[in-house]
Each structure stands twice: as C-alpha cells, then as structure tokens.
Amino acid sequence: MGGKAVGQTGGLAVGVVGAVALVVATESRSARPPDRLSADIHAEYVKFPSGRDTITAYLAYPERKGPAPVVVVIHEIFGMSDFIRQTTEQLAKDGFVAIAPDLLSRRGGTPPSTDDARKLIAGLDPDTVTKDLDATVAYVKRVKAARPDRVGVIGFCWGGGQSFRYATNNPSLGAFVVCYGPGPDAMSIARIRAKGLGVYAENDARINAGLGDVDAAIRTYHKTYRYTVYPGVGHGFLRAREKPEVADSAWKTIVGFFRESLEH
C-alpha cells in the first residue's frame, strides 16, 4: 500500500491511497457526495460550429446555486461511448460542468462498431482535433452555469494523449488529467502552463515506457505534473474496473485534483 512520494514537478508513486467514495459509474454502493453536489444533474446533447463543420457533444452540469468549473472530457479511441457519457455525468455529480465532444463528428459521428471507430480516430489530423477542442472550450465558456475562467481537461487512452497534447496548445487551461495516455515531445511540454495529473497502470508497458522521458521533460522545464502508477491493473482500468477499489482510488484523486486546481 505504500509508495514513493510524488514531487511537485513530477515523479512516481506506486500504491493505492485509501478508500474512495466517488466512482465513475453510478452504483448502488456509492457514497453520497457532499450536500451541495447531491442534487440531480442535467445532461443533454449539444451542437456547435468548428470551422465549417458541426461538433456534437454530451454536456452535463450540476444543479447548484453558482457557476461551476468546467472539465472537457476527451474520449478513448473507441469514440463516444457509455463510459464517456457516464464519466461526464459523474463529473457533474462531483460539481463540475462537464462536456465530452464527439471528435468523430466531422466523420458522421462515432459509428456503432468499435473497430470502425478505431480506424477513423487513427486517421484524425491532430491539428483538427485541437481546433475541435478549442471550439468545445469556446462553446462551454458561454454556458451560463459554467465558470469561463476555470477550465480543465481529462482524457482516457487515446484521449489521454490528446489531453496532454491539448495542454501544450491551450495556455488558458487551469488543469489537465492524463489517464494512461502517451506524452508529447519534450519541446511541447515546455509550453504547458496548467497543472497536470497522470493516472497510469502497472500492467501497461507500452504507455509506461514513455514515462521516463515525460518525467525528464517535466523536471527540465519546471512544470507541475504529478502522476501515479496504480498497482495490479492494466490499460483502461477506469473503464474495465478489474479492481474497483483501485479505480475508485484513482477517481477520488482526479476529483480532488480538479477541485484543488479549478475551484480556488
């Protein structure tokens, strides 16, 4: 259960840090969040322009008195899925305005077949992805329930890499979370201004092989990016939940990080 402490500008922690009350998917055993977050959420599909195209996104926000910080959710290589919608809803239950753009909107939206989705996403132009994320941020900043000056981003798998990459391209972000996604090149990391949090899996050699380079760049350019490699789980463990207690621990850390970074 122990592990190395994570430094302010990077480092590695291995271990599970306590039990967790909040989970990604709504489950009967979930503990209730604080009273101010326990009201019903509102969720809907929205559309907005990105250049000459139209992006479809899933938007969820809490019923609370004042405007809430924003979290943009970047989907996996499978595209828009039940897991991404549930995660977006959970972030709203945790007190954030959350929006998940379908980054295959320009290709007609996420197809029913995950194999087809993977092929389409593999062919996306990175600069177009950035443009569509910029359009998402611009849209959600106009939502009355949102705080336009408090925006973070989270991504999973392919989306984790895109979250890291987007932090190198949008200096206005306040926080970014990378869930088992690859890091950008060192020179790009030099452009990051937001605080970052990494969530990695012990049984994920492909992604973890790049952590040394990420850590070196974070230290070289004096950026704030702390990460944990969670034991006994594999790539995609927040979706797969092969060890629910580990997934719950990671989610609690994610929510705490966003609150610390975006609510103050």
What the block records as the tokens of 261 is: 């970074």
In this predicted structure, what is the pLDDT of residue 40?
Answer: 82
In this predicted structure, what is the pLDDT of residue 39?
Answer: 53
At residue 162's C-alpha, the angle toward residues 158 and 165, to 5°, is 140
Residue type, 28: S
In this predicted structure, what is the pLDDT of residue 162?
Answer: 98
Q: How far is CA 127 from CA 70, 165, 169, 218, in A?
A: 22, 10, 10, 23
CB 227 within 8 A of CB 211: yes
Contact residues for 41 (Cβ-Cβ < 8 A; gap 6+): 60, 61, 62, 63, 89, 92, 93
Going residue by residue through the chain, which has 264 residues, state the pLDDT in tens, using 9 for 90 and above.
Answer: 333 333 333 433 333 332 222 233 333 223 333 333 345 899 999 999 999 999 999 999 998 889 999 999 999 999 999 999 999 999 999 999 999 999 999 999 999 999 999 999 999 999 999 999 999 999 999 999 999 999 999 999 999 999 999 999 999 999 999 999 999 999 999 999 999 999 999 999 999 999 999 999 999 999 999 999 999 999 999 999 999 999 999 999 999 999 999 997
In this predicted structure, what is the pLDDT of residue 29?
Answer: 27
In this predicted structure, what is the pLDDT of residue 10?
Answer: 41
In CATH, the architecture of 12-262 is 3-Layer(aba) Sandwich (3.40)
CB 164 within 8 A of CB 182: yes
What single-letter DSSP state applies at residue 40?
P
pTM of the model: 0.86
